[in-house]
Structure 1
Amino acid sequence: MLLLVQAGLIAHVLHAAIVDHAPRADLMPALWGLLAIYGARAFCAWGAEVAGFSAAAGVRAGLRREVYAHIGRLGPAYVAGRHSGDLATVLVERVDALDGYFARFLPQMALSVLVPLTLLAAIFPVNWVVGGMLLLAAPFVPLFMSLIGMGAAAASRKQFDTLARMGGHFLDRLQGLTTLKLFGQARRELDLIRHVSDEYRQRTMGVLRIAFLSSAVLELFSAMAVAVVAVYVGFSLLGYVRFGPSGGVTLATGLFVLLLAPEFFFPLRQLAAHYHDRAAAVGAAARILEVLETPVEPRAGIHAPAGAGPMALEMVGVSFVHGVGEGARPVLDGFSLNVEAGERVALVGPSGAGKSTVISLFLGFLRPGAGVVRIGGLEVGRIDPAEVTAWVGQNPHLFHGTIRDNIRLARPDAEEDEIQAAADEARVTDFAARLPQGLDTLIGQRGHGISGGEARRVALARAYLKDAPILLLDEPTAGLDAANEALVLKALDTLARGRTVLIATHSLSGIGWADRAIPIEGTAEVVADA
C-alpha cells in the first residue's frame, strides 16, 4: 500500500508542477507525505529483515538441537561408522546453509506473489494494456528460475559433498600430525589439502556463477519488459498509439503505471537473486534429512526402580558382524554368558576377539544380529541401559572444562559434597591437590593437561557419582604402569561393592581382581572360573 501511495503522490506532484503549474506551497503537503512514506518503507524493510533473520536463527538453532539429539539417540556406534568431519559439517555448515532460505528466500517468495498481484489490481483500472503486458511477462520469471535452479541445486549438492570431504580429510590429518611429521609426510599431505581446498573453491565458484547468471538473465528480461511499457506510455502521451486507453493517458496516469512497472518486477528479481539460497538449502538438506531419517532402535520405556540393587547380565546365542558387504567381519557367533547379580566377571581374549563388542551390546550401542541380550531379566531395548550402567574405558573422553565439570557430567544435578566424595573415592583429589586450582583446574580437550592414568581416575569418579547398579569396564588399566594400575584397581575395588561388574581386560591383575574369567574367542561359548 505504501508503494501505491508513493507512486500516486509522485505522479500527482509532477503532473501538478509540469502540466497544471501549481505553486510550490500547494505541493508541500504531498512532498512531506512522500518523505514520510520513504521513512515508513525504510522502517518496514528493516523490520522485515530483522524478523527474517531472527526466525531463521530460531529455525537453525532448533534444527541443530534436533540433529544433535538424534545423533545422540543413534549412539556411539553410528558416530563411529561415520567420519567425524562429515557429521561436523552436517551440524555446522549444512545447518547454517539453511539461513538464507528461511531469512531471505521464503519471505521474498511470499512478497513475489502478494506485491505483483496488488500492483496489477491497481494498474488494471488505470491502464489495462500495461496491466496485460505485465501479466503476460510475469510467468517467464519463475520459468527461467526453475530452469536455472535445477543446475544450481545439483551444483550446491556437489559443493557440500566436497566440503564434507575436505573437512574430514583435514581433521584426520590434523589428528595424525605427529605421525605425519615422524614419517616426513607433512609436506605431501599439505599438498593434498591444498588440492582438496582448491576443488572446493572451484565448486563454490560454480555455484556463484549460476547464481549471477540467473540474476543477469532476469534483470535483462525485466528491463526489456519495463522498456516496452515505457515505449507504450511515451507513444500514448505523444498520440502515436491509439490502442487501448491510450487516448485517456495523462502525465499522471502514465507516470503512475510507469513507476509501478519496475516495482512489479522488483520482488521477482529479488526472488531470483535469492534463488541460490534455495539451491544451497536443497543441497544441504539432503544430508541433514539422511541423518534425521536414520531409524532409532525403539525402547519400551521400562525404567529401573530408584536405588535398584545389583542386576544380572545375560547373553544367549549372540552373533554380531562388524561392517557391511565385502568389509564385513564376524566377531561373535553364538556367544553366551551369564553374570549373576553382584558378581565380578572378566572377559579375557586376544585383541579383536569381541570383548569391547560385548560391552557395547550391553550398553545398547550395538544391536545383535542374532540372539538375546538381557539386563536384569529384560531385553536390551525394553530397558534403557544408560539408567542402570556406568562405563569406564581405557580412553575416557574428557571435555574442555574443569575437572569438577567433567565429573559432574555423570549427574548434572549432583551436590558439591557428592562430587567431592566421588573425587575422593576415585583418588582424583590425590593429583588434583597438586594442581593450581584443584578440582576447578581447567583441562583441555581429550584430557590435555593430565596423564592417562589421571584421566581414568576422573572417569572412575564419574562412575562413582552415577551410582549405577552395573559397572562395565573396557580395559580400564591398559597401558598404565604398575603404580597407576594398582591405584585404579584399588579405586575399582571400592566402586564394585554391591554392584555387578563386567570387565574386559588383558591384565593379569585385572583377571585376578575378578571372581571368574570368561575366555572369549568370538566364535564359541567358553566359560571358565578364574
Structure 2
Amino acid sequence: MNSRSSLEYDPAILRPATPDQTRWLRDLAHLARLPLALATAAPLLAGGLLVLQSWLLAHALEAGFVQGIAPDELLGPLAAIALLILTRAALAWAAERAGTLAAERIKHAVRRTLMHTLLTAGPAWTRRQVSGELAGVVVEQTEALDGYFSRYLPYGAAAAILPVAFSLIILPVDLVAGLLLLTTAPLIPLFMALVGWGAEAASRHHLKTFARLSGFFADRLRGLSTLKLHGRAEAESEAVAEASDILRTRTLAVLRIAFLSSAVLEFFAALGVAGVAVYIGLSYLGYLDLRGQALSLQAGFFCLLMAPEVYAPLRQFAAYYHDRAAARAAVAQIEESFGTLPAIDGVPLEQQIGSPDVRHPPGPAAGIAIHAGPLRLSLPDRTGPILDGLALSIQAGEHVALLGSSGAGKTTLLEILARLRTAEGPLKLDERPLAEWPEAHLRDQVVLIGQRPFLLQGTIADNIRLGCPDASPAEVADAARRACVTPFADRLPRGLDSRIDPRGHGLSGGQAQRVALARLYLRNPGLILLDEPTAHLDDDTRAAVLDGLLSFARGRTLLLVTHSPAVARTLPRRILLANGRIEATA
C-alpha cells in the first residue's frame, strides 16, 4: 500500500465548508439554546468580576505599601477578593457543565437523526454503503462535534468581547498601555484565521482517512474467517498496519498545525505583555515619561495584572480553535456518507419513526389484503429487471406459497411488500397505498423473516424477546415451544438462557431460523412474510414448525417463499414466479 492507497484522498478535493454545511452546523445550536447561553454568559460575567478583582488587589497593594494602611483595615478588600475568586471558579465550573450538557444534547440528537436516516433509507441503500464507514460517521464524526459546542462556541464570544473590553477599560487608567494592548490583541485572531484554513483542510483530510479506515478495518474483521481460509490473513494484517500508519501521519499533520496556531498566539501575547511590562517599568524608573504625570502603584499594578488577562480569552480560545475545524470536517463527512445533511428537529426518535404498541390486545389481528401491480423493479447490477409487470392479489387471511427459481425475485417481492425496497407501480395493503402507511403501524402489522435472520450477542431468550421486549419468561418459553426452539435449547447447559455469539454463531441455520420464528409468536401481525423458513430443517422438525406456523397464522395473511414442493402443498394456494412476473397460480 503506497501513499496513494484506497485509504488516501487527494488534497485537491478538500474544499472549504459549503454554506449549507455551515448553516446546518449553526442550526444545531438551536437544540441547546439555554445551556449554550449559560455557557457563553458565564465567561463574560467572570471577565467582569476579574476587572473588579484586579482593581481591588491593586488598591490593596497601594494602600498597604504606599499609604501605610494597617493590615486589619484591609481585611474587607481582601475578603472581597477571595469571594470574587470563588465566584469566578464557580462560574468556570458552571460554564463547563453547561457546555458539556449542550454538546451531549446536540450529539444525541444528531446520532438519533442519523439512525433514523439509516432506518428510513432501508437495507437497499445500506447494502451499497461501507458499513464501517457509516458506523464511523454515527460514532466518531458525531463525537467530533463535541468540542465545537462545549468549548469553541461558548469561549468564542469571550474571545471576541473580553480582549477589546479589557483594553478599553485600561485606556482611562493608562493611555499608552491601553493602546498597546488594543493594537496587538486583534492581530492574534487574524493570524489564527490564516492558520485555521490549513487546520480545517487537514482535519477534513484526517476525518476522511479515519472514516475510510473504519470501513477498511470492519470489512476485514467481518471476513476474517474467509481471509484465513484463503491464506490472506497475514497480507491483510500488513495492509491494516500500513493503513494505520497513514492515519498516524494525518493525525500528526493536524497536530502540527494546531501547535503552529498556539505558537502564533503565544508570540503576540508575549509581545503585548512584555511591552506593557517594559513600559511600566521604565516609567517607574524615570526613563520614560509619556503620561505627563506620575504613574501610581495602583494604576501600574492594575495594568500589569490585566495585561495577561487581555490575552487569556484568546489563549483559551486558541486551545479550542481546532474544534471548529474538526466539526466542519465532520459535517462534510456526514454529508458525503449520507448524500445529504438530514434535518434535525430535536424530536425523539420514537416520535420520528413511531413506537408500535408491543403489548397487543387479545386475539389475532385481522388479515391484510394485498393488491399490487403491475410492479417493475430494476437494479444496477442486473442486466434485466427483477420484476417486470408483476401483478399480485391476495385476499385478507389467505395463505399463499410463492415458488420460483433462484433469482426470480421472490425475496425482492417480500422486501417490497415490507417497504424495504421501492418498486414502480401501484401497491396497496388493505386498499391503502403502502407509501401512506405510518411507519410504526406498518412495522406493527407486517412481519418479514428473511433467510438469514439477524441474531444479537446474548441469550437465546434475549433474541426471542426482540419480538416483544417486555414479554414475560412464560411468554418467551411458550414462543420457543411453538417454534420448536425448546428441543435444541434443552440440550444446552442453560436452556433458553444459554448465550450465543454475535450473528448467531453457535447455532445452525435451522436453529437460527426457529429463534426468529419464535419472535413472530410474540407479535400480533396481520401480514406474515416468510422467506424459506424451513430450508434447513429435517422432515420431522419441518412438519412440527409448519404446524405451529399455520396454526398461528389462522385468520392472518401469510405469504411464504419456498423451493420445497412439499412445503408448498401445505398451503391452499401456490404462485409460481418466473421472469419477473407470475407465470402460474394454483
TM-score, structure 2 length as denominator?
A: 0.81
Gaps (5+ residues) in structure 2? 1-47, 345-351
- The answer on whether the counterparts of 1:408 and 1:462 sit within 8 Å (CA) in structure 2 is yes
2:433 is the alignment partner of 1:379: yes
Q: Which amino acid aligns with 1:73?
A: T
Moved more, 213-222 or 16-25: 16-25
Q: Which amino acid aligns with 1:488?
A: V
- Give the SS at the match of 1:409: helix
Q: Which amino acid aligns with 1:274?
A: Y
Q: Which amino acid aligns with 1:249?
A: L
Match of 2:416 among 356, 361, 384: 361
- The answer on whether the counterparts of 1:349 and 1:521 sit within 8 Å (CA) in structure 2 is yes
Q: Which amino acid aligns with 1:428?
A: V
Moved more, 183-192 or 69-78: 69-78
Q: CA deviation at 1:317?
A: 2.0
Match of 1:493 among 550, 555, 558: 550
Superposed, 1:240-319 pairs within 5 Å as 240-243=287-290, 245=291, 247-289=293-335, 291=338, 293=341, 308-319=365-376
Distance 1:26 1:310 in 2: 90
2:583 is the alignment partner of 1:527: yes
Corresponding position of 2:515: 458
- Give the SS at the match of 2:406: coil
Residues 1:102 and 1:458: Cα distance change in structure 2 (over 3 Å): same
Corresponding position of 2:469: 412
Residues 1:483 and 1:86: Cα distance change in structure 2 (over 3 Å): farther
Corresponding position of 1:444: 501
Q: Which amino acid aligns with 1:348?
A: L
Distance 1:57 1:476 in 2: 43
Q: CA deviation at 1:280?
A: 1.0
Q: CA deviation at 1:199?
A: 1.0
Distance 1:300 1:373 in 2: 21
- Give the SS at the match of 1:390: strand
- Give the SS at the match of 1:528: strand
2:227 is the alignment partner of 1:180: yes
Distance 1:215 1:67 in 2: 34
Distance 1:54 1:246 in 2: 52
Corresponding position of 1:125: 172
Q: CA deviation at 1:248?
A: 4.5
Q: Which amino acid aligns with 1:465?
A: L
Residues 1:487 and 1:151: Cα distance change in structure 2 (over 3 Å): farther
Moved more, 198-207 or 118-127: 118-127
Distance 1:350 1:521 in 2: 7
Q: CA deviation at 1:201?
A: 0.9
Q: CA deviation at 1:341?
A: 2.3
- The answer on whether the counterparts of 1:300 and 1:381 sit within 8 Å (CA) in structure 2 is no
- Give the SS at the match of 2:172: coil
Q: Which amino acid aligns with 1:527?
A: E
Corresponding position of 2:562: 505
Match of 2:282 among 212, 235, 245: 235
- Give the SS at the match of 2:375: strand
Distance 1:194 1:329 in 2: 42
- The answer on whether the counterparts of 1:300 and 1:383 sit within 8 Å (CA) in structure 2 is no
Distance 1:462 1:475 in 2: 16
Corresponding position of 2:38: none
Aligned residues: 522
Distance 1:332 1:8 in 2: 82
Corresponding position of 1:81: 128
- Give the SS at the match of 2:412: helix
Distance 1:84 1:522 in 2: 32
- Give the SS at the match of 1:61: helix
Corresponding position of 1:427: 484
Deviation by residue 1:28-77 (Cα, 9 ceiling, x = unmatched): 55445444444443343333323322332233233322322332233232
- The answer on whether the counterparts of 2:367 and 2:396 sit within 8 Å (CA) in structure 1 is yes
- The answer on whether the counterparts of 1:237 and 1:246 sit within 8 Å (CA) in structure 2 is no
Q: Which amino acid aligns with 2:99?
A: G
Gaps (5+ residues) in structure 1? none
- Give the SS at the match of 2:437: coil
Q: Which amino acid aligns with 2:385?
A: P
- The answer on whether the counterparts of 2:404 and 2:578 sit within 8 Å (CA) in structure 1 is yes
Distance 2:137 2:379 in 1: 25
Q: CA deviation at 1:267?
A: 0.6
Deviation by residue 1:245-287 (Cα, 9 ceiling, x = unmatched): 4524222201211211110111112111111111111111223
Q: Which amino acid aligns with 2:297?
A: L
Moved more, 90-99 or 381-390: 381-390
Q: CA deviation at 1:405?
A: 2.8
Corresponding position of 1:51: 98
Q: Which amino acid aligns with 2:325?
A: A
Residues 1:199 and 1:135: Cα distance change in structure 2 (over 3 Å): same
Q: CA deviation at 1:425?
A: 1.7
Q: Which amino acid aligns with 1:511?
A: A
- The answer on whether the counterparts of 2:379 and 2:385 sit within 8 Å (CA) in structure 1 is yes
Match of 2:107 among 60, 67, 73: 60
Distance 2:268 2:168 in 1: 22
Identity %: 44
Residues 1:347 and 1:248: Cα distance change in structure 2 (over 3 Å): farther
Distance 2:109 2:494 in 1: 37
- Give the SS at the match of 1:471: strand
Match of 1:475 among 526, 529, 532: 532
Corresponding position of 1:344: 399
- Give the SS at the match of 1:209: helix
Distance 2:191 2:436 in 1: 54
Q: CA deviation at 1:139?
A: 2.6
Residues 1:193 and 1:310: Cα distance change in structure 2 (over 3 Å): same
Distance 1:342 1:174 in 2: 44
Moved more, 391-400 or 303-312: 303-312
Match of 2:211 among 148, 156, 164: 164
CA-atom RMSD in angstroms: 3.0
- Give the SS at the match of 1:322: coil
Q: CA deviation at 1:346?
A: 2.7
- Give the SS at the match of 1:309: coil
Q: CA deviation at 1:121?
A: 4.5
Residues 1:483 and 1:91: Cα distance change in structure 2 (over 3 Å): farther
Moved more, 204-213 or 514-523: 514-523
